[in-house]
């Protein structure tokens, strides 16, 4: 249906006005003529030419949407070592660790050992400056032949000795501890407590491997070369020590176990998810 006012209708309306004899009637007629003329002009402007469609109505004015609060996400990655500089790591026993045995070479953080230094701590352990409760730590390492190292978390100083949960790094095929200690002391294990998956993929000594430690709530995961090799719940093995196995705010420690070891692509991030209260 067309909604445009007809010009002929307006003419009829004007012609139908009664003839006034008084000044008031003349003024009323004059006012009516002007009023109808304005309506006629507006109607002429809004009437589309023959054969064309009327213009579309203006778009509705929509209310401005309210901002939506972002969902909780993981924290941003902190790069601990980018191949050139060491950020966020410090020497635990030796503050100037880059002068004590650790060095940066070919994009890797390398702990070298001379023959007479075998089995002895030289450069010392490296520890993150920040501490975490729920976190994800990713690292790559290259183990020397018959070498041994590890990554320690939930660390405590028990009787003057650093102890805690250890992601074991070792030459499974040649180091005595891995050979004699069995799966619980081989790469990817929770050292001395839980073995990794039997079908794990491990590159031989002298090649790079990637590890990952994930702590979320009461669950801990060990990953090796893109595959999860171990999952356990905190507190489930507390019989090892009265305080062992409970969650606590922790730094992450790269261990100097007396053998050559190389690390690269070290990064960590806090996980912004509800965490189990830390045990003091």
Condensed to tens digits (0 to 9), the pLDDT of residues 115-131 reads: 777 777 889 999 999 99
Alpha-carbon torsion angle 235, 241, 242, 248, nearest 10? -50
Average pLDDT over residues 187-195: 95
Is pLDDT above 60 for 188? yes
DSSP code at position 185: G
The predicted pLDDT at position 213 comes to 98
Is pLDDT above 70 for 224? yes
Residue 229's φ and ψ, nearest 5 degrees, are -115, -10
Is pLDDT above 90 for 159? no
Q: Using CB atoms within 10 Å of the CB of residue 6, give its burial: 0 to 12 exposed, 13 to 18 middle, 19+ buried.
A: exposed
Interhelix angle 23-46/7-15, nearest 10 degrees: 180
The answer to whether the beta carbons of residues 256 and 112 sit under 8 Å apart is no
The predicted pLDDT at position 5 comes to 40
Identify the weakest region by mean pLDDT among 121-125, 166-170, 171-175, 198-202: 121-125
pLDDT band at 190 (very low <50, low <70, confident <90, very high): very high
User: How many helical (H) and strand (E) elements, i.e. helices and strands, does the chain have?
Assistant: 3, 13
pLDDT band at 280 (very low <50, low <70, confident <90, very high): low
| Beta-bridge mates of residue 230 | 222
Looking at mean pLDDT, say which of 75-84, 101-110, 118-127 comes out highest: 101-110
Is pLDDT above 60 for 16? no
Choice between 122 and 190, residue whose per-residue pLDDT is larger: 190
């Amino acid at each position: 249906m067309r909604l445009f006012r007809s010009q002929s209708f307006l003419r009829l309306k004007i012609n139908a006005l009664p003839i006034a004899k008084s000044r008031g009637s003349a003024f009323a007629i004059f006012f009516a003529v002007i009023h109808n003329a304005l309506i006629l002009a507006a109607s002429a402007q809004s009437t589309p030419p023959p054969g064309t469609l009327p213009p579309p109505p203006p778009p509705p004015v929509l209310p401005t949407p309210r901002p939506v609060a972002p969902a909780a996400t993981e924290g941003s990655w902190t790069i601990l070592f980018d191949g050139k500089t060491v950020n966020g790591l410090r020497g635990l026993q030796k503050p100037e660790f880059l002068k004590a045995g650790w060095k940066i070479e070919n994009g890797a953080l390398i702990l070298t050992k001379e023959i007479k230094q075998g089995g002895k701590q030289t450069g010392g352990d490296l520890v993150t400056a920040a501490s975490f409760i729920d976190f994800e730590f990713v690292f790559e390492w290259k183990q020397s032949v018959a070498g041994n190292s590890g990554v320690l978390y939930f660390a405590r100083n028990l009787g003057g000795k650093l102890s805690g949960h250890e992601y074991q790094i070792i030459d499974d095929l040649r180091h005595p501890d891995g050979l004699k200690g069995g799966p619980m002391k081989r790469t990817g294990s929770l050292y001395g407590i839980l073995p990794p998956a039997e079908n794990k993929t491990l590159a031989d000594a002298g090649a790079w491997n990637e590890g990952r430690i994930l702590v979320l709530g009461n669950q801990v995961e060990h990953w090796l070369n893109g595959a999860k090799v171990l999952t356990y719940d905190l507190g489930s093995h507390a019989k090892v020590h009265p305080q062992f196995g409970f969650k606590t705010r922790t730094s992450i420690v790269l261990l100097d176990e007396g053998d050559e070891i190389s690390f690269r692509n070290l990064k960590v991030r806090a996980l912004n998810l509800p965490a189990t209260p830390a045990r003091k």
